Amino acid sequence: MEKLRRRVVAAAETALARQHYVCPIDVLTGLGWLPASRVEEWRRGKFTPLTSATQVDESKVSSAFEYLLGWAKDQGLTPTEVAYPAGTRDRRPLVFGDGDDAAERLFRTHWVSPALSDKKREQLEARQNKAPDLTVFVPVNAWSCASCGTSAPAGEFMFLEGDDALCLPCADFGHLVFLPSGNAALSRRAKKESGLAAIVLRFAKRRNRYERQGILVEEAALERAETQCLADEEVRARRRERDAERRAAQDVEFQAAMATEIGKLFPGCPAGRAQEIAEHAGTRGSGRVGRSAAGRALDEDAVRLAVVASIRHLDTEYDNLLMSGVERMAARERIRADIDRVLTRWERP
């Protein structure tokens, strides 16, 4: 049980550092008991209740929530109850469990950092209470509309209403036009101008997740958004330049802080190597451990993982083993002792 408490606290701290609040769903996903993909499906109203997707029994979930409550109180976090409307047209309230009022309130409670200003807390609560966007999918296989019976080829837009797949005309989306992703300002403004809008998702098998393809908006709304973008194009270009400079400065500062943290944890690591590890792991948009929520918070485990990754590729035969056809996990096992030797040497001043 002590191990579970530590895992709950670690998951809660990671969520709090990332988004300035923590909720029960964050803990369940952080523990690996609830797949994030299933949470997204639940938010879209695809199934109910949420607990039917959890991979442990109720007693473990209850224990985890007790630890979460205790930790949140110790941290002085502010509880606030959040509405969870479904991403469906009726925006019905989502159900977490068996309908018990106390349990439902617990699931809906978010614990917010007291460091947030009143204005930021209001903005956060507004985002939390907002219903998910309506969603249209790009199927990878042929399908048929449940309403009109029309056969549709793969790639034809489909709207799910419960278990029924509908074509856009039957879903009353036939008058909308598709705006592909790529222009954030245009997409944001078109969606704001449109009385009815839906995001378009396609499942990427390689990444095992849904990826955004664009949005469906009213044609008149798109025209108004295009006019707005043309009117301030020069201003936005200058803003992008300033933002790029600001991000570059932030990256340099963050990488320097990570290099310093590496030096503290591994005083025997050469200074130049520590900087190289920090720059590699902390590259913006790389998806590496340094850009994770834990990495940005300079969590000790995340920093250690970045160091281990560097040693694995530069100080062992790992890459050669992969190129010779050795399976990845087998290759990691074979070079584990080499990594441990380097870590032991670097841990000494």
Q: Which of 157, 184, 219 is the last residue of a domain?
A: 219
Q: Could you tell me if 53 and 167 lie in one domain?
A: no
Look at residue 286 in the predicted model and tell me its pLDDT: 72
So what's the pLDDT on residue 26? 94
For 177, the domain range is 135-219
Q: What is the pLDDT of residue 284?
A: 80
246 part of a folded domain:
yes
What's the predicted TM-score (pTM) here?
Answer: 0.63
At 77, the pLDDT band (50, 70, 90 cuts) reads very high
- Same domain, yes or no: 108 and 13: yes
Nearest CA-CA partner of 261 in 308, 303, 292: 303
Residues 316-349 have pLDDT tens digits of: 999 999 999 999 889 999 999 999 999 999 998 8
Report d(CA 171, CA 160) in Å as an integer.
9
pLDDT above 80: residue 291:
no
Give a yes or no: residue 293 inside a domain: yes
Whether 34 and 115 map to the same domain: the answer is: yes
Whether the per-residue pLDDT at 303 is higher than 80: the answer is yes
d(CA 290, CA 267): 19
Per-residue pLDDT, averaged over 234-245, amounts to: 87
> Does one domain contain both 212 and 279?
no
- Shared domain for 12 and 119, answered yes or no, is yes
Q: How many domains does the chain have?
A: 3
Same domain membership, residue 23 and residue 113:
yes
> Is 224 a member of any domain?
no
Assigned token pair, 31: 């523990």
Question: Is residue 270 domain-shared with residue 197, that is, in the same domain?
Answer: no
Residue range 91-138, pLDDT digits in tens = 889 999 887 899 899 999 999 999 888 888 888 888 888 888 999 999
- Domain presence at residue 226: no
Instruction: Give the span between the Cα atoms of 315 and 309, in whole angstroms.
Output: 10
What's the pLDDT score for residue 156?
A: 94
* Among candidate residues 165, 190, 219, the one where a domain is terminated: 219
Same domain for 98 and 33? yes
Q: Are residues 117 and 140 in the same domain?
A: no
Residues 281 and 215 placed together within one structural domain of the fold: no
**pLDDT: is 37 or 222 the higher one?**
222
Amino acid of residue 114 = P
140 and 115 in one domain? Answer: no
23 to each of 20, 30, 129, 302, how far by Cα in Å? 11, 11, 13, 22
Q: What is the pLDDT of residue 173?
A: 94
Give pLDDT tens digits for 55-67: 888 889 999 999 9
Last residue of a domain, one of 219, 252, 286: 219
What pLDDT, on a 0 to 100 scale, did the predictor assign at position 209? 82
The residue among 283 and 66 whose pLDDT is bigger is 66
Higher pLDDT, 285 or 299: 299
Asked whether the predicted pLDDT for residue 144 surpasses 90, the reply is yes
Whether 178 maps to a domain, the answer reads yes
Question: At how many degrees (to 10) do helices 2-19 and 58-74 cross?
Answer: 60
Tell me what percent of the residues of the chain surpass a pLDDT of 90.
Answer: 66
User: How many residues are recorded in the chain?
Assistant: 349
| 279 domain residue, yes or no | yes
Q: Are 151 and 95 in a shared domain?
A: no
Which residues are paired to 206 by β-bridges?
Answer: none
Give phi and psi for 250, each to the nearest 5.
-65, -40
Mean pLDDT of the residues in the chain: 91
